Amino acid sequence: MVKNKSRFIAFFAILFLILSATFSFADNEVVENNAVNSASNTSIENAVSDLASKESSYKNKDVYLGGEDFDVNYIVDGNLFVCADTVTINSQIGGDAFIIADKVVIGENGYVFGNIFAVCESLEIKGIVYNIYSVSKDINIDKGYVYRDINSSCENITINGVVGRNAFIKCENMSFNTIENSKGHIYGNLEYSAENKIDIPDGSISGSVNYTAPKKGSKKAAITFSILVALNFIIFVLIVWLMCLWLAPKFVKNTEKYTGKKTLPTIGWGLVTLFAIPIISIMLFVFVLTIKVSAFLLGIYILALFIASAIIYCKCNFIDCFE
């Protein structure tokens, strides 16, 4: 009897130890799983944070901006397209910069590895750019550096920095070294056009200086130019008309239907489209995601205007020439 009781006690003791050990292992496993999950969550958060930080400081694609004021202080490994009031670049742009704005500033930390194509009120260069192609009122190379050439049409240009190669400028006024301790210098040639010759300080140009007076158009030249423009348009019209006859003969034949009963509805829809598409394109240009759609729509719109003008002109003047 005693032996049986001892066996039962021993059996329950062993069972208790096994169960307690199992529960203990389970607890340890839960703790370890929690630790692993916590570490995994931390690593994911760090990765997301690093990605967000990288996105805010580096763009490995073309960047399109539209709005009021922009301070580009992140690296762009691509081209930059901007339409704004004020644009300030204080970072590296790996490609070209295409800018339409009131004011454009390339800051001291700005470095445009490609070309700048700018239409603006004022352009200020404090950093480094490769080439400049601009139409503006004022240009100021403010201790900045144009690595190669500058091609510009402007009213006033001030050179307090360096042009590494040649300058091709059409302007009214040109100034050098207007601020203290500046060393405005063009290391190549200067070719400029202005109403009057401009006094160039000695030692500011390493190459040659070529001045060209603006050509004052005569009446004969104006008539010749008008004739050339008219001939160019007529040739364009004929080419478009011949292409339409070749590629879409049914379309050309159907245009006669719209000159009779459907004239008024066609004109009405044409006027609506003429004004609606530019408005829609401007609205789409405001949003970054639809800038490409806006550009594509404007391209189709301009192409359609050319083709429409050619067809209308040809139908009015050569209606039966090619049929």
| Confidence at residue 10, expressed as pLDDT on a 0 to 100 scale | 53
| Confidence at residue 24, expressed as pLDDT on a 0 to 100 scale | 45
| Confidence at residue 318, expressed as pLDDT on a 0 to 100 scale | 47
Q: How confident is the model at residue 4 (pLDDT cuts 50, 70, 90)?
A: low
Indicate if the pLDDT at residue 9 is higher than 70: no
Q: Name 158's Cβ contacts closer than 8 Å, sequence gap at least 6.
A: 138, 139, 140, 141, 142, 174, 175, 176, 178, 184
| Confidence at residue 179, expressed as pLDDT on a 0 to 100 scale | 87
Q: State the average pLDDT for the chain.
A: 76
| Percent of residues, the chain, with pLDDT higher than 70 | 58
| Confidence at residue 322, expressed as pLDDT on a 0 to 100 scale | 40
* HSE of 148, CA atoms in CB hemisphere, 13 A: 10
Q: How confident is the model at residue 235 (pLDDT cuts 50, 70, 90)?
A: low
Q: How confident is the model at residue 31 (pLDDT cuts 50, 70, 90)?
A: very low
CA-nearest of 60, 134, 139 to 93 is 60
Indicate if the pLDDT at residue 307 is higher than 70: no
| Confidence at residue 273, expressed as pLDDT on a 0 to 100 scale | 72
Contact indicator for 126, 111 with CB cutoff of 8 Å: no
- Give, as one character, the DSSP assignment of residue 85: S
Phi and psi at residue 160, to the nearest 5°: -110, 5
| Confidence at residue 93, expressed as pLDDT on a 0 to 100 scale | 96
pLDDT digits over 93-152, tens only?
A: 999 999 989 999 999 999 999 999 998 999 999 999 999 999 999 999 998 999 999 999
pLDDT digits over 176-232, tens only?
A: 998 888 889 999 999 999 988 999 998 899 999 999 988 766 556 666 666 666 666
Output the CA–CA distances (angstroms, integers) from residue 215 to 88, 171, 306, in the order listed: 37, 14, 31
Indicate if the pLDDT at residue 87 is higher than 90: yes
| Percent of residues, the chain, with pLDDT higher than 90 | 40
| Confidence at residue 36, expressed as pLDDT on a 0 to 100 scale | 45
Indicate if the pLDDT at residue 64 is higher than 80: yes
Indicate if the pLDDT at residue 34 is higher than 60: no
Residue, of 35 and 198, whose pLDDT is higher: 198
**Domain ranges for the chain:** 1-57, 63-212, 219-317
> How large is the average pLDDT for residues 276-295?
75
Q: Is the pTM of this model over 0.75?
A: no
| Confidence at residue 30, expressed as pLDDT on a 0 to 100 scale | 47
Query: How many angstroms separate the CA atoms of 269 and 277, rounded?
Result: 12
SS3 27: helix
Query: How many angstroms separate the CA atoms of 9 and 263, rounded?
Result: 109
Lowest mean pLDDT among 2-6, 85-89, 276-280, 311-315: 2-6
> How large is the average pLDDT for residues 242-251?
63
CB-CB neighbours of 204 under 10 Å: 15
Across 35-39, 245-249, 266-270, 276-280, the highest mean pLDDT is recorded for: 276-280
